[in-house]
Amino acid sequence: MGIAETDIDHLSDALDGGARLIDVREPDEYRDGHVPGAVLVPLATVPDQLEQFRGDGPTYVICRSGGRSMQACEIAADHGIDVVNVSGGTLAWATSGRPITAGDEPA
């Protein structure tokens, strides 16, 4: 079974509808700038924090460009969690001119 992928345009619509977004980059990357509302769960901690990925509907997973988020999606999917990888990642989000939030908090 393949992992579903989406682009930042669909992600933006999904976030407007209340979707969950997990950022699997390292804390320093997250603090430097992340998609507003994204919750930090560094890739190395994903197996221990799978509950962060559970909920109604799919959980969107993002990193810098899409590689680490795909790894996180594979881990979550192996545990029956509905996840969607964001292709292009935070770089694509920022390049598109969408807002970026700095600091330790999701919003």
Residue 106: predicted pLDDT: 87
Helix (H, G, I), strand (E, B) or coil at 37: coil
How many Cα neighbours within 13 Å face the side chain of 40? Answer: 18
User: Other C-beta atoms within 10 Å of 95: how many?
Assistant: 10
Sheet holding 83-86, edge to edge: 4-6, 83-86, 59-62, 20-23, 39-40
Residue 33: predicted pLDDT: 97
Q: Looking at this protein, which amino acid is placed at residue 55?
A: G
Cα 33 to Cα 25: distance, rounded to the nearest angstrom: 11
Domain boundaries, the chain: 4-95
Residue 70: predicted pLDDT: 98
Pick the catalytic residue from 15, 40, 63, 92. Answer: 63
Enter the pTM of the model.
0.97
Helix (H, G, I), strand (E, B) or coil at 74: helix
- What is the CATH code of the structural domain delimited by 4-95? 3.40.250.10
The two structure tokens encoding residue 80: 């029956």
**Max CA separation in the chain (angstroms):** 36
- pLDDT tens-digit profile, the chain (107 residues): 599 999 999 999 999 999 999 999 999 999 999 999 999 999 999 999 999 999 999 999 999 999 999 999 999 999 999 999 999 999 999 999 999 999 998 87
Active site residue 63: yes
Residue 82: predicted pLDDT: 97
Residue 105: predicted pLDDT: 87
The two structure tokens encoding residue 11: 């992600």
